[in-house]
């Protein structure tokens, strides 16, 4: 079973920041938080991942709470092309390291 919970859907105005929350209250110390997104009828695309520190790359920022029980993916300036389903996954990088997808958040960016 997936170890994360996310809101099923969100809307965001184009040009505004999109903040997508994820709850992973049972995360273990060796598990990373990964974010992927899936645009309709395509394979998921990697966005970002982190362990405990906040991370930023060219696509997004990842904010992980100090207790690591939740995180937020931030798309700083959402565009229409960011409309997709966003998945938050927790996964260890050793031992059993399967990627189990939850239900994700369907983000709709509005013009």
Partner 1 sequence: GAVVSQHPSWVICKSGTSVKIECRSLDFQATTMFWYRQFPKQSLMLMATSNEGSKATYEQGVEKDKFLINHASLTLSTLTVTSAHPEDSSFYICSAIGHTNEKLFFGSGTQLSVL
Residues near partner 1 (CB under 8 A) = 2, 34, 36, 38, 41-46, 49, 87, 93-94, 97-104
* Token pair recorded at residue 19: 């903040």
For residue 81, the SS3 value is helix
> Which residues lie closer than 8 Å to 47 by C-beta, 6 or more apart?
35, 36, 37, 57, 59, 60, 73, 86
Q: Which is nearer to partner 1, 98 or 111 (CB)?
A: 98
Q: Which is nearer to partner 1, 72 or 101 (CB)?
A: 101
Closest approach of Cβ 84 to partner 1, in Å? 13
Closest approach of Cβ 62 to partner 1, in Å? 14
Q: Which is nearer to partner 1, 19 or 49 (CB)?
A: 49
């Amino acid at each position: 079973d997936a170890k994360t919970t996310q809101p099923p859907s969100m809307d965001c105005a184009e040009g505004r920041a999109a903040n997508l929350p994820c709850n992973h209250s049972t995360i273990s110390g060796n598990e990373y938080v990964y974010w992927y997104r899936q645009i309709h009828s395509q394979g998921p695309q990697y966005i970002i991942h982190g362990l405990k520190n906040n991370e930023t790359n060219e696509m997004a920022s990842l904010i992980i709470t100090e207790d690591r029980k939740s995180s937020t993916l931030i798309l700083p300036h959402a565009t229409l092309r960011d409309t997709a389903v966003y998945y938050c996954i927790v996964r260890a990088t050793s031992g059993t390291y399967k990627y189990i997808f939850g239900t994700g958040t369907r983000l709709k960016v509005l013009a």
